[in-house]
Amino acid sequence: MMVVDTSIAIAIFKQEFDAEAYTLQIGRHGNPLISAATLLEIGIVLSSWKRLTASEVDQWIENFLQKGQFTVVDVTRSQAKLAREAYARFGKGSGHPAQLNFGDCFTYALAKERGAPVLFKGDDFRHTDLVAA
């Protein structure tokens, strides 16, 4: 089990040099998890590029979820609390090097709650108390 961050979906969408490695890593882990809030963030990022219509964004996300055999986890009250705590501790403007954004905090909360490693791209989660996948 592992939690997948928005940064991975975007790397795969953009077919970045490491996209195939991330795809393989997702496939190797049984039951990859993704927060419902992460799906919103993926949609916002993809829509902001104005290359895709809303229905194309939805279709890409659905294909991504299906190919990766993801379990989408609804945001719970306890996750919302963990996300708020993460933002206070690691969020943008906190002075902490992680500088987590809104979406990152939901990935953090899900991983923290489940005791799962996080698959991410970049350095933000490396500066937290989570384990990298």
Angle at 33 between CA 28 and CA 37, to 5 degrees: 145
Domain edges within the chain: 2-127
Q: What is the pLDDT of residues 32-63, one digit of tens each?
A: 999 999 999 999 999 998 788 999 999 999 99
Question: What is the CATH T-level fold of the domain 2-127, as seen in this structure?
Answer: Rossmann fold (3.40.50)
Checking if the pLDDT of 96 tops 90, the result is no
Q: What integer pLDDT is reported at residue 29 of this predicted model?
A: 86
Is 123 a known ligand-binding residue?
Answer: no
What does the mean pLDDT of the chain come to?
94
Q: Phi, psi at residue 47, to the nearest 5°?
A: -65, -30
User: How much is the average pLDDT of 120-127?
Assistant: 93
8 Å CB contact between 43 and 64 = no
pLDDT above 70: percentage of residues in the chain: 100
Is 129 a known ligand-binding residue?
Answer: no
The confidence band for 94, taking pLDDT boundaries of 50, 70 and 90, is confident
User: How much is the average pLDDT of 6-33?
Assistant: 96
Q: Please give the structure tokens belonging to residue 101.
A: 């954004």
8 Å CB contact between 67 and 104 = no
> pTM for this one?
0.93
User: How much is the average pLDDT of 68-84?
Assistant: 98
Q: What integer pLDDT is reported at residue 92 of this predicted model?
A: 75
